[in-house]
Amino acid sequence: MNTTQTEALISMVAVLGLFVLMVAPAVIGILRDRRLDRQIRRAAAAPVTGPSDQSAASGPARGTAPRRPARAA
Protein backbone atom coordinates (compact mmCIF):
# COMPACT_ATOMS: atom_id res chain seq x y z
CA MET A 1 0.00 0.00 0.00
CA ASN A 2 1.56 3.28 -1.03
CA THR A 3 1.11 6.77 0.42
CA THR A 4 -1.71 7.75 -1.93
CA GLN A 5 -3.77 4.72 -1.01
CA THR A 6 -3.17 5.30 2.70
CA GLU A 7 -4.28 8.93 2.41
CA ALA A 8 -7.39 7.85 0.48
CA LEU A 9 -8.25 5.28 3.15
CA ILE A 10 -7.81 7.81 5.97
CA SER A 11 -9.96 10.33 4.08
CA MET A 12 -12.67 7.77 3.45
CA VAL A 13 -12.75 6.78 7.13
CA ALA A 14 -12.91 10.47 8.13
CA VAL A 15 -15.82 11.13 5.75
CA LEU A 16 -17.70 8.08 7.03
CA GLY A 17 -17.09 9.19 10.62
CA LEU A 18 -18.45 12.67 9.89
CA PHE A 19 -21.43 11.14 8.11
CA VAL A 20 -22.24 9.04 11.17
CA LEU A 21 -21.89 12.09 13.44
CA MET A 22 -24.28 14.07 11.24
CA VAL A 23 -26.88 11.33 10.79
CA ALA A 24 -26.91 9.87 14.33
CA PRO A 25 -28.97 12.69 15.97
CA ALA A 26 -31.61 12.43 13.24
CA VAL A 27 -31.88 8.67 13.64
CA ILE A 28 -32.12 9.00 17.44
CA GLY A 29 -34.88 11.61 17.02
CA ILE A 30 -36.85 9.40 14.63
CA LEU A 31 -36.62 6.45 17.01
CA ARG A 32 -37.70 8.65 19.94
CA ASP A 33 -40.71 9.98 18.00
CA ARG A 34 -41.79 6.45 17.08
CA ARG A 35 -41.54 5.40 20.74
CA LEU A 36 -43.63 8.41 21.85
CA ASP A 37 -46.24 7.73 19.16
CA ARG A 38 -46.45 4.12 20.30
CA GLN A 39 -46.94 5.24 23.92
CA ILE A 40 -49.64 7.73 22.92
CA ARG A 41 -51.51 5.09 20.91
CA ARG A 42 -51.27 2.66 23.83
CA ALA A 43 -52.55 5.30 26.28
CA ALA A 44 -55.43 6.24 23.98
CA ALA A 45 -56.47 2.60 23.64
CA ALA A 46 -56.38 1.97 27.41
CA PRO A 47 -59.74 2.18 29.17
CA VAL A 48 -60.19 5.18 31.44
CA THR A 49 -61.28 4.23 34.95
CA GLY A 50 -62.25 6.70 37.62
CA PRO A 51 -62.17 6.32 41.38
CA SER A 52 -64.98 4.15 42.70
CA ASP A 53 -65.43 6.15 45.93
CA GLN A 54 -65.98 9.87 45.35
CA SER A 55 -65.48 10.87 49.00
CA ALA A 56 -61.97 9.38 49.08
CA ALA A 57 -61.04 11.08 45.83
CA SER A 58 -62.00 14.57 47.05
CA GLY A 59 -59.82 14.49 50.16
CA PRO A 60 -56.09 15.11 50.39
CA ALA A 61 -53.71 12.38 49.37
CA ARG A 62 -52.76 9.91 52.03
CA GLY A 63 -49.63 10.84 54.00
CA THR A 64 -49.73 14.55 53.18
CA ALA A 65 -49.64 17.29 55.79
CA PRO A 66 -52.90 19.15 56.42
CA ARG A 67 -53.16 22.62 54.90
CA ARG A 68 -53.49 25.53 57.30
CA PRO A 69 -54.96 28.90 56.29
CA ALA A 70 -52.59 31.87 56.13
CA ARG A 71 -52.61 34.25 59.10
CA ALA A 72 -54.02 37.72 58.69
CA ALA A 73 -51.45 40.52 59.03
The answer to whether the CB of 63 falls within 8 A of the CB of 57 is no
Share of the chain above pLDDT 90, in %: 56
Give CA–CA dist 14/21, Å, rounded. 11
Q: Is 63 left (phi over 0), alpha (psi -120 to 50) or beta?
A: left
End-to-end C-alpha distance for the chain, whole angstroms: 88
pLDDT digits (tens, 9 = 90+) for 8-33: 999 999 999 999 999 999 999 999 99
Q: Which one is predicted more confidently, 65 or 41?
A: 41
Q: CA 34 from chain center: how many Å?
A: 10
The answer to whether the CB of 66 falls within 8 A of the CB of 60 is yes
